[in-house]
């Protein structure tokens, strides 16, 4: 196992505390971010190798990552790995696992804490990479990188909690305890929308529990993954423990999933891709001696209920932020507003005025609240849904492309939408909000639950009985009361959904690391052990 000599880090860091976000209203912070973007621009167009079994490899065919605000600007050049390379990556990771699983948990945790310190020291640089590669605005980049650091700190502490012998109920005449041991080789397949936090979170949860991983980032966001993996190496993670792998999902990606030595797959992305992985993982391959585990976070069609007893102005702000933050490209984004008929017209009118204030343009400019959608295919799909929505409801805001050479789409609001309409039922993953009128709270809850998804939701109401009822009946993994339905914080809002939203993994929570381990019970009869 290839090792990097790195000083040990003190692992006693006290209680977990979320990272504070940088305040960009301060002139010195604005200048620092501008400088970071300028610095990152000097590094655009670099080529990044694969890292398999600790060795860097290149291929003839390449993957090009571009700036969605300026599609002709190349962010990075990456390798298009083959099926043979995928098989090699798993085989090498399986070899590395035999050593890494024996590394004391304290040393693995120290790697995460060192990585957190490195990321803090490079925070604005990492922000800038997200700003340019996936079109995140300054506050959105801060949320992404802040969450990434939070995962390092939180999962490190959780690994320490779970790393020792776990007490069991005493049984007369025996010594009994339980240990959480690693699974083996994991395949981490992250999305492009939280290209740092989700990618890094799944990776760090894997390695801190003793697994080895092959990280296959989205072709839309490989640069931040390459930089993050290099930070792990700098922090002391052996290069053969984490492999960096870029390639087509339909060939090399499927080879990673299907390999008999792959023990688990951690995935975040679309429902279709998640179900495909679940199906493939369920098939036993020749030589496979376990049932593969899948940790799947998939789509959402998230609803916010606005009751007649709500603070309408607060609800308008919460819906606007939830629907149009990062261009609606969050699985947690509000795409359905279900509003009581008693305040419906007031809400729609105020929301339209709020949406008109949203500025769309290059995320390099902090004055813009919305940047581009991720690529041309996404823009085409979103505009197609807007055309459908114009027929299914009443267009009251937006409705087309926004100005600029990039993939900019106007924040779009379509009112008077039926609960069976396509734009009410299907995940759009863009800045499109459907508003539907509810007769009463019963009707609102019924419509909110009328979805194959069950990720996030919110309720605006001053009525405690309705809040309590929603807590019982609103069937989502993350439910928020009188606040927006996006912005889950590590440690406070364990994240994961029901139904077609995935396996309810609850990332950032105390149960999450258990998904990357298996429990072994050890029982010893008192007095049975003798020294020869």
Q: What is 75-124 written as a DSSP string?
A: EEEEE---HHHHHHHHHHHHHHHHHHTTS-HHHHHHHHHHHHHHHHHTHH
Q: Per residue in 500-526, is it b (16+ CB within 10 Å) or e — as a string?
A: bbbbbbbbbbeebbbbbbeeeeeeeee
Is the C-alpha dihedral spanning 483, 486, 492, 493 positive or negative?
A: positive
Q: Are 296 and 272 in contact (CB under 8 A)?
A: no
Active site residue 427: no
Q: Contacts by 126-131 with C-beta closer than 8 Å and gap 24+?
A: 126/196, 126/224, 126/227, 127/22, 127/33, 127/36, 128/33, 128/36, 128/37, 128/39, 128/40, 129/40, 129/223, 129/224, 129/227, 130/195, 130/196, 130/224, 131/37, 131/363, 131/364
Closest CA to 163 of 218, 108, 123, 217: 108
Q: Are 245 and 92 in contact (CB under 8 A)?
A: no
Q: Are 357 and 312 in contact (CB under 8 A)?
A: no
Within 10 A of 452 (CB to CB), how many other CB atoms are there?
13
Please identify which of the residues 88, 142, 158, 297 carries the catalytic annotation.
Answer: 297
Distance CA 194, CA 203 (A): 13
Half-sphere exposure of 450 (CA within 13 A, CB side): 18
Q: What is 341-408 written as a DSSP string?
A: TTTHHHHHHHHHHHHHT--BS-TTSTT-SB---S-HHHHHHHHHHHHHHHHHSEEEE--SBPSSSS--
Active site residue 331: yes
Sheet with 517-525, side-by-side order of all strands: 166-167, 174-182, 517-525
Closest CA to 378 of 322, 412, 434, 328: 328
Please identify which of the residues 133, 308, 331, 334 carries the catalytic annotation.
Answer: 331
By annotation, the residues acting in catalysis are 297, 331
């Amino acid at each position: 196992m290839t090792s990097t000599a790195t000083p040990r880090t003190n692992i006693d860091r006290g209680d977990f505390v979320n990272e504070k976000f940088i305040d960009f209203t301060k002139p010195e912070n604005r200048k620092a971010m501008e400088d970071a973007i300028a610095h990152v621009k000097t590094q655009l167009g670099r080529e990044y190798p694969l890292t398999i079994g600790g060795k860097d490899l290149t291929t003839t065919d390449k993957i090009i990552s571009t700036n969605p605000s300026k599609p002709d600007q190349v962010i990075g050049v990456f390798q298009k790995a083959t099926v043979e390379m995928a098989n090699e990556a798993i085989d090498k990771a399986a070899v590395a696992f035999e050593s890494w699983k024996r590394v004391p948990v304290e040393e693995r945790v120290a790697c995460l804490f060192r990585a957190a310190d490195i990321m803090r020291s490079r925070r604005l640089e990492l922000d800038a990479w997200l700003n340019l590669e996936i079109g995140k605005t300054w506050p959105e980049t801060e949320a992404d990188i802040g969450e990434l650091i939070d995962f390092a700190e939180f999962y490190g502490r959780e690994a320490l909690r779970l790393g020792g012998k776990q007490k069991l109920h005493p049984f007369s005449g025996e010594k009994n305890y339980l240990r959480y041991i690693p699974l083996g080789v994991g395949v981490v397949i992250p999305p492009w929308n939280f290209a740092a936090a989700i990618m890094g979170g799944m990776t760090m949860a894997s390695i801190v529990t003793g697994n080895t991983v092959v990280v296959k980032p989205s072709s839309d966001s490989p640069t931040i993954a390459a930089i993050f993996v290099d930070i792990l190496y700098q922090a002391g993670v052996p290069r053969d423990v984490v492999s960096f792998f870029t390639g087509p999902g339909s060939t090399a990606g499927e080879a990673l999933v299907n390999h008999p030595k792959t023990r688990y797959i951690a995935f975040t992305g679309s429902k279709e891709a998640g179900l495909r992985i679940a199906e493939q993982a369920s098939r036993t391959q020749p030589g496979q001696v376990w049932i593969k585990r899948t940790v799947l976070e998939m789509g959402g069609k998230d609803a916010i209920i606005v009751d007649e007893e709500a603070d309408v102005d607060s609800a308008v702000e919460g819906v606007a932020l939830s629907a149009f933050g990062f261009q609606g490209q969050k699985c947690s984004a509000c795409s359905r507003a279900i509003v009581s008929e008693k305040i419906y017209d007031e809400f729609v009118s105020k929301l339209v005025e709020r949406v008109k204030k949203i500025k769309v343009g290059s995320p390099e400019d902090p004055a813009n609240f919305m940047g581009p959608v991720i690529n041309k295919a996404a823009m085409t799909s979103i505009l197609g849904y807007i055309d459908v929505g114009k027929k299914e409801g009443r267009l009251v805001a937006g409705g087309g492309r926004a100005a600029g050479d990039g993939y900019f789409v106007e924040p779009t609001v379509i009112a008077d939408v039926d609960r069976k309409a396509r734009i009410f039922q299907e995940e759009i993953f863009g800045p499109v909000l459907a508003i539907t009128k509810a007769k009463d709270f019963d009707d609102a809850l019924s419509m909110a639950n009328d979805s194959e998804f069950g990720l996030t939701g919110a309720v605006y109401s001053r009525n405690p009985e309705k809040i309590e009822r929603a807590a019982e009946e609103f069937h989502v993994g993350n439910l928020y009361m009188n606040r927006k339905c996006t912005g889950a914080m590590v440690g406070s809002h364990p994240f994961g959904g029901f139904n077609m939203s995935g396996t309810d993994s609850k990332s950032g929570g105390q149960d999450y690391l258990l998904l990357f381990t298996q429990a072994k019970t050890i029982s010893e009869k008192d007095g049975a052990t003798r020294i020869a």
